Amino acid sequence: MRTLETNTSGSVSEFILLGFPCRREIQILLFVLFSIIYFLILMGNAAIICAVWSSWKLHTPMYILLANFSFLEICYVSSDVPKMLANIISQTKSISYAGCLLQFYFFFSMCAAESLFLSVMSFDRFLAVCRPLHYPIIMTHRLCVLLVVFCWVGGFLWLLTPLILISQVPFCGPNTVDHFLCDLAPLLALSCAPVSGIRLICGIVSSLIIFLTLLYILGTYFYVLSVVLQMSSGSGRQKAFSTCASHLAVISLFYGSVMVMYVSPGSGEYPGIQKFVTLFYALATPFFNPLIYNFRNKDMEEALKKILSVLLKEIFKGSKSRI
């Protein structure tokens, strides 16, 4: 395996993503496992997008936000999993300098966009539960579109500062990153110049979006919970809880793993823990998202059943015509 590749100026032109160093048999098993999970993530989230697109009943702000969230999850896993799979079976495990920076930027930009989407979805649930009569007046199609644009653009703008700072860091060797993707801490550890200031600024930027969105979500659901508990109708209370439960489950998965990774003291000092937690929040939320949001959601189940029946009919017609 190559350990150092430099350009004419003496700086590193590519990195080696160490990934999961283990026996070849284990690597093949990991490749198969992660490939299956990746395929299920793509199919599950694509099914939600198709269901929302095909059913007029689901053309509401809540499901439009959910469809965008599912598309984000597809982009999210596609920014790192294909490269991770390629490196598992590759002997070189290399990624170019530019490719490494782009992977860092897209992966964490979509991570930031995900936190913004979760915040906006909590705002939507707040209006639906606490302001049901004003909901159609406030949450218009125009506002929904503006919120979607805000989440996408905001996530990518938020990571511009860390990207610019990291691009100024000199790397002159070694170039082996003890991770399966280009994460901040392993990259800065390879710098041949002091990076304490850059590390501090990047930490503040990432912590701000984590804590601001999490505090907003917790505050929103605290208010929602107080309103739900005051409801006199048992059926209304149950409907409100079921409406918010799926969203809260996804929030718990995402923020739980992110907080363990970037907030727990010393968590970044152990590469094994770092890889496991990163792998969890890179795969767990996108994987469970379709299952959680479809659980006990009759409208989504009906839309998915219609799509499945149409697909089965087309497959049956195709096979019948060939016979």
Q: pLDDT at position 270, please?
A: 58
Report yes or no: 18 and 91 within 8 Å, Cβ to Cβ: no
Q: pLDDT at position 103, please?
A: 94
pTM, two decimal places: 0.87
Band of the pLDDT at 263, cuts 50, 70, 90? low
Domain 14-322 has CATH 1.20.1070.10: yes
How many CB atoms sit inside 10 A of residue 116's CB?
23
Q: pLDDT at position 137, please?
A: 93
Measured distance CA(18)–CA(279) in Å, rounded: 14
Provide the token pair at 146: 């503006």
Q: Please report the beta strands in 148-231, taking only residues with DSSP state E, as ranges in sequence order.
A: 176-177
Band of the pLDDT at 74, cuts 50, 70, 90? very high
Residue type, 163: L
pLDDT averaged over every residue in the chain:
84
**Number of C-alpha atoms within 13 angstroms, CB side, residue 126?**
15
Provide the token pair at 35: 């490939």
- Tell me the average pLDDT across 269-282: 75
